[in-house]
Amino acid sequence: MKARVFITAKEGVLDPQGKAIEHALGNMGFTGVGEVRQGKVIDLVLTETDQTKAKASLDEMCKKLLANTVIESYRVEIVG
């Protein structure tokens, strides 16, 4: 089973990489771009075949290692 985890900074948390991208896009002439938030995507291949158990395991992975839940939000998708 394949899974994808999307991790982004929580609202209100400073995102310096997003600000740098926003600034660079403006300097390159791209107008009409509002706030930019940068995040990360992690793809995993799991041996678990039960979707409910896989999501529970992914949730634990995110809480313990993949995301800093103090400043980051995450969303898990089963993709195959």
Q: What confidence tens digit (pLDDT) does each residue in 12-57 have?
A: 999 999 999 999 999 999 999 999 999 999 999 999 999 999 999 9
Can you tell me whether residue 22 is helix, strand or coil?
helix
Structural domains of the chain ordered from first start:
2-78 (3.30.1280.10)
If you ran DSSP here, which 8-state letter would residue 72 be given?
A: E
Phi, psi for residue 49 in degrees, rounded to 5: -105, -15
pLDDT on residue 76: 97
pTM, to two decimals: 0.87
The rounded distance, in Å, linking the Cα atoms of 52 and 79 is: 14
Q: Show the DSSP H helices in the chain as ranges.
A: 16-27, 51-61
The rounded distance, in Å, linking the Cα atoms of 61 and 67 is: 8
